Structure 1
Amino acid sequence: MQRPLAGLTRRNLGTELLAGVTLIAIAIPLNIGYAQIAGLPATAGLYALIVPTVAYALVVASRQVVASPDAAAAALVASSIGGLAAAGSEDYATMALAQAIICGVMFALLSVFKLGFLANFLSKPILIGFVGGLALDIMVSQVAKMLGVKIDSGGEFVDKVVGLVSGLGTTNAWSLAISAGSVAVLLLGRRYLRAVPWALVVLVLTTVLVVVVDLDDAGVAVLGEVPAGPPTITWPVLEWTTWLALVPSAIALTLVTTAEGLLVSRSYSERRRYPFRANRDLMAFGVANIAAGAQGSFAVGSSTSRTAAMDQAGSRTQLPSMVLAVGTLLLLLFGTALLADIPSPAIGAVVGVAIIPLLGIREFADLWRKDRFEFVVGAVCFLVTLFVGAIPGIVVAFTLALINLAKRAANPAIDVLLDSGDPGESLLDDAPAGTTTAPGVVVIRLAAPLFFANGSVFTSAVKRAVTSAEGEPVHDVVVDMEAVTDIDVTGAEEFEALKAWLARTGVALSFSRMREPARLRLVQLGLLGDERVFETNRAAIAALTTTAPGSGATREKSTP
């Protein structure tokens, strides 16, 4: 059992504490912005940094992954709950709590039943498209906030764009100046002095400007009063039909967080050489989300940017998350008055710059160069998420993943090894396609399981090899079984039909390099009868070699 705060020693204590202070400077302003994206009060973002963060840090196996709401999760919360209740209402906030609890239960189930592999169906193109669609939807709302233009942040993407364009005439000059200056500082600072918490610097400077110049009287929107005090234990009370209505969005949140969270966790564990325990990490997400729903926050996932920042700061433990929780609690107890005058354009700039990488511009360009079909998969997921909605987007994502999987599985590599006409040549056991065998013998190698998607492709390849062979007619077919790890019922039926065709054609069937599980499966399916099984392809070739045609000699005998 891994102890809490694994990796913490006296030697690295100072580094970890300093990294925690840096994490406070990064996380607090971002979480205020993410709460606004989700349509929730600032406290919902701050509460997520206390109990859920501590619960996650104590349970998780990863020593570095930072748990927190992120921009994509916040957008998904807003888009899914926005259709059920008005943003800012009591019902809306209650649904956000219930959604987090459902996510927590699902994470726990994934952990207990070891079902984390389901997230593998969210391939890179699908994640790029899905998150990119959410990010662009967020960006429109943040641009409106930066310009001081009022739009319905809970509306559809097209409605937001129309509202933004039609409201450009109401742009507030001070809001535009604040946001432009904030973006410049954030971009230049990130480029030249990455170690400085520029988001915090921007919020402090713009808040001072608002207070000194009284810019709230000039039409600049500010965050407003933030209730003081620690989070309190609560529980969402809803009709059971409402709980059911939240399940699809909770599934989407869980799958996306699982895919991203485990990927980040595995990459850092390999890089820093400590154990990776996927099911333990999933349970930590479960505990954190239940805690979030029970104390006034919303769905929690992994933060790639904050994890990277902590790694750059030299942190190798979960102590910075503990420092973050303590610092946020102190802010809520004694410093909420400092938050009231934070200008909304500055918050919009901080969030907007943070989500620029989520748009996936470079990733889409890379997909275009490498694989056009996968680019189309990502683009379709992007457009559906953007114009139809997040839940349809995740459904389309899984559908495209299955189509992509079936497309690749239906066209497996099939090596056909034929006679070259030179009796002296033989087949090596690891020979590539094009290597030759003895006269009259064909070796077929299927580099995949035999199942419904590729059964007919395999049988067609065998028939073509038998009928198109030049020189001596084919009298033996050897199926190299090394890469065939499984056979389903449909694949078995196709193979049974192939055996019958070979028998009618006068061609004997043999197997080579068969794995024991595959042999048992063939027996179970009734496909292995009198056929001989050879240890190697070389042994099969030697055993099946015949003398020259017309000599009357028969095939050499061999031991199965």
Structure 2
Amino acid sequence: MQRPLAGLTPRNLVTELTAGVTLLAIAIPLNIGYAQIAGLPPTAGLYALIVPTIVYALVVSSRQLVASPDAAAAALVASSIGGLAAAGSADYATLALAQAIISGILFVLMAVFKLGFLANFLSKPILVGFVGGLALDIMVSQIAKMLGVKIDSGGEFVEKVSDLVLGMDTFNAWSLAVAAASVAVLLLGRAFLPRIPWALVVLIVSTVAVVVAGLDDKGVDVLGEVPAGAPSFTWPVIDWSLWLALVPSAIALTLVTTAEGLLVSRSYAEKHGYPFRANRDLLAFGLGNIAAGAQGSFAMGSSTSRTAAMDQSGSRTQLPSLVLAAGTLLLLLFGTALLADIPSPAIGAVVGVAILPLLGIREFRELWRQDRFEFAVGAVCFLVTLFVGAIPGILVAFVLALINLAQRAANPAIDVLAADGDPKRSLLADAPAGSTTAPGMVVVRLAAPLFFANGTVFTAAVKRAVTSADEQVHHVVLDMEAVTDVDVTGAEAFETLEAWLDGEGIDLAFSRMRPETRDRLVQLGLLTDQQVFETNRAAVAALAAPARGNA
């Protein structure tokens, strides 16, 4: 079992502590902004950085992945809970706690039953479209903050855009000035001095400017009083009907975090050569989310941007996360007064710049160039997420992904092989009739499992190989090396093919059959053990004859 803080040595202690200070500077302003996106008080974002972060850091196998609420999770929380309670109310906060706990339980169950593979169904187009739709929805709220326009941040995308346009008469020039300066500093600073925590610099300088110039009296909105004190442990008490209503959104949160979190965790583990344990990471996410729901926060996931920042700073352990937890606790105990005058336009600028990459503009451009269907999957997911909702968006994208998978599976590679085993022609291509592999014999290879989606295609392909041969066929050999499984529907198609070949007076044999495939065919009643032995022997002899003749 991996020890906590694996990779920490006296030699890298200073580097890890310094990285922790950097992470603190990055996380504090972002989590305040993400809490506001979720419709929760700033403390909900800060509480996530204490107990949930400690629990996660001590359990996870990844030495670098940073866990925290992020923009996508915050937007999903807002969109899913907004229809059940009013943002900012006590009931709303309670539902957010319950949602985090449900998500945590799902993570734990996935870890126990080793179900991390389910996240593989969240393909790149799904993630790009889903997160991009959420990011654009968030961006409207942040633009409103930067302009000083009041909108309902918990509303639908169209409502937000409408409120923003109709509310432009309340536009505040000072808010725009603060936001414009903040965006300029963030973009230029990141381009020329990326190691400096520019988000923290922006919040400090803008807060000083608000206090010195009295900009709050000129219409610039500020964060306001943040309650001091450490988080207290609690448990959401709600009706069972509300628990059940939160399950779909919790599933979406869990799947998205699983897909992104495991992908990032694995990539850094491979990059730096330390172990990657997917189910251990899922358990860490589960316990972290349960802790978040039990002490006043909301659902947490993986932070790709913060993980990248820690990697660039030289961190290779989870010590920075513990430094982050300690620093946040000290801030809540002794420094909340410093947060009261942070201008909302600056927070909007910090969050807006942070989520720019999540819009997926570059990724959509690559998808358009690489595969138009994959682009369509991402685009549909983006549009449904944006205009209908996050849960419908991910469900529609799942359906499209499964259609794409079925389409590819229904058209596997089926080749006629030469005597040396190399393909002579594809039976799925519009190729002219070819010769037999050897006099009177055709060898066909299916490079896929034989199942309901391709059974008929395979049967038709073998018949076409026989009927299109330029001489009479007496033997058909099926190369079974790439056939890893056969389902019941595939078995029925197989029986149909055997009956047709028998009616044509053609012998059927097999070569290079996998033991598990052989056992499966025996189980389905298609072969006896003796038939397998005889057909394999006949296939080997038939293939060996032309090979010797060509030697």
TM-score by length of structure 2 reads: 0.96
Tell me the residue number matched to 1:348.
348
Q: Please say if 1:490 is aligned against 2:492.
A: no
Tell me the residue number matched to 1:552.
none
Q: Please say if 1:126 is aligned against 2:118.
A: no
Contact residue 73 and residue 299 of structure 2 kept, 8 A = yes
Change in CA separation of 1:137 and 1:38 when aligned onto 2, cut-off 3 Å: same
Mean CA deviation greater in 535-544 or 305-314? 535-544
Q: Distance in 1 between matches of 2:20 and 2:440?
A: 72
SS at match of 1:534: helix
Tell me the residue number matched to 2:217.
217
SS at match of 2:67: strand
Tell me the residue number matched to 1:527.
526
Within 5 Å, which residues of 2 pair with 1:362-381? 362-381=362-381
Tell me the residue number matched to 1:499.
498
Q: Distance in 1 between matches of 2:94 and 2:479?
A: 60
Q: Please say if 1:268 is aligned against 2:260.
A: no
Contact residue 441 and residue 541 of structure 1 kept, 8 A = no
Contact residue 475 and residue 506 of structure 1 kept, 8 A = yes
Contact residue 419 and residue 546 of structure 2 kept, 8 A = no
The structure that is helix-richer by fraction is 2
SS at match of 1:228: coil
Shift of 1:543: 5.7
Letter in 2 for 1:477: V
Tell me the residue number matched to 1:423.
none
Within 5 Å, which residues of 2 pair with 1:5-404? 5-404=5-404
Contact residue 445 and residue 479 of structure 1 kept, 8 A = yes
Contact residue 429 and residue 536 of structure 1 kept, 8 A = no
Q: Please say if 1:4 is aligned against 2:36.
A: no
Tell me the residue number matched to 2:472.
473
Mean CA deviation greater in 394-403 or 472-481? 394-403
Give a deviation string over 1:65-102, Cα, whole Å, max 9, x none: 00100000000000000000000000000000000000
Tell me the residue number matched to 2:429.
none
Q: Distance in 2 between matches of 1:260 and 1:540?
A: 50
Letter in 2 for 1:482: E
Change in CA separation of 1:268 and 1:432 when aligned onto 2, cut-off 3 Å: farther
Contact residue 35 and residue 45 of structure 2 kept, 8 A = yes
Letter in 1 for 2:45: G
Q: Distance in 1 between matches of 2:248 and 2:473?
A: 56
Q: Distance in 2 between matches of 1:353 and 1:256?
A: 22
Tell me the residue number matched to 1:551.
none
Q: Distance in 2 between matches of 1:429 and 1:368?
A: 36
Shift of 1:533: 3.2
Give a deviation string over 1:363-402, Cα, whole Å, max 9, x none: 0000000000000000001001000000111111211121
Letter in 2 for 1:137: D
Tell me the residue number matched to 2:509.
510
Letter in 2 for 1:280: R
Give a deviation string over 1:110-165, Cα, whole Å, max 9, x none: 00000010110000000000000000000001000110011111111001111111
Tell me the residue number matched to 2:419.
427
Q: Distance in 2 between matches of 1:536 and 1:118?
A: 42
Letter in 2 for 1:148: G
Contact residue 416 and residue 437 of structure 2 kept, 8 A = no
Tell me the residue number matched to 1:441.
441
Mean CA deviation greater in 435-444 or 221-230? 435-444
Contact residue 509 and residue 538 of structure 2 kept, 8 A = no
Mean CA deviation greater in 441-450 or 164-173? 164-173
Shift of 1:413: 0.6
Shift of 1:528: 1.7
TM-score by length of structure 1 reads: 0.94
Letter in 2 for 1:312: Q
Give a deviation string over 1:156-177, Cα, whole Å, max 9, x none: 1001111111112221000000
Q: Distance in 2 between matches of 1:291 and 1:343?
A: 30
Tell me the residue number matched to 1:409.
409
Shift of 1:416: 1.8
Q: Distance in 1 between matches of 2:424 and 2:107?
A: 44
Q: Distance in 1 between matches of 2:315 and 2:483?
A: 45
SS at match of 1:236: coil
Mean CA deviation greater in 530-539 or 461-470? 530-539
Q: Distance in 2 between matches of 1:126 and 1:185?
A: 33
Shift of 1:432: 6.0
Letter in 1 for 2:71: A
Letter in 2 for 1:534: N
Q: Distance in 1 between matches of 2:507 and 2:251?
A: 52
Tell me the residue number matched to 1:542.
544
SS at match of 2:535: strand
Contact residue 416 and residue 424 of structure 2 kept, 8 A = no
Q: Distance in 1 between matches of 2:226 and 2:169?
A: 31
RMSD over aligned Cα, in angstroms? 1.6
Shift of 1:538: 6.0
Q: How many residues align?
A: 538
Contact residue 223 and residue 341 of structure 1 kept, 8 A = yes
Letter in 2 for 1:459: T
Mean CA deviation greater in 521-530 or 119-128? 521-530
Q: Distance in 2 between matches of 1:207 and 1:141?
A: 21
Shift of 1:431: 4.9
Change in CA separation of 1:383 and 1:330 when aligned onto 2, cut-off 3 Å: same
Give a deviation string over 1:331-352, Cα, whole Å, max 9, x none: 0000000000000000000000
Tell me the residue number matched to 1:553.
none
SS at match of 1:167: helix
Letter in 2 for 1:43: T
Change in CA separation of 1:535 and 1:98 when aligned onto 2, cut-off 3 Å: farther
Contact residue 534 and residue 540 of structure 1 kept, 8 A = no
SS at match of 1:445: strand
Q: Distance in 1 between matches of 2:424 and 2:111?
A: 41
Letter in 1 for 2:515: E
Q: Distance in 1 between matches of 2:478 and 2:168?
A: 69
Percent identity over paired residues: 79
Give a deviation string over 1:203-242, Cα, whole Å, max 9, x none: 0000000000111110100000000000000000001111
Tell me the residue number matched to 2:430.
none
Shift of 1:427: 1.2
Q: Distance in 1 between matches of 2:187 and 2:424?
A: 52
Q: Distance in 1 between matches of 2:227 and 2:397?
A: 40
Give a deviation string over 1:509-559, Cα, whole Å, max 9, x none: 0000000000000111111254643379664323699x9xxxxxxxxxxxx
SS at match of 1:283: helix
Q: Distance in 1 between matches of 2:303 and 2:539?
A: 51
Contact residue 416 and residue 423 of structure 2 kept, 8 A = no
Q: Distance in 1 between matches of 2:69 and 2:443?
A: 55
Q: Please say if 1:450 is aligned against 2:450.
A: yes
Structure 1: gaps (5+ residues): 418-425, 548-560
Q: Distance in 1 between matches of 2:407 and 2:256?
A: 23
Change in CA separation of 1:46 and 1:198 when aligned onto 2, cut-off 3 Å: same
Give a deviation string over 1:183-217, Cα, whole Å, max 9, x none: 11101111111000000000000000000011111
Tell me the residue number matched to 1:421.
none
Q: Distance in 2 between matches of 1:535 and 1:108?
A: 50
Shift of 1:437: 1.7
Contact residue 512 and residue 540 of structure 1 kept, 8 A = no
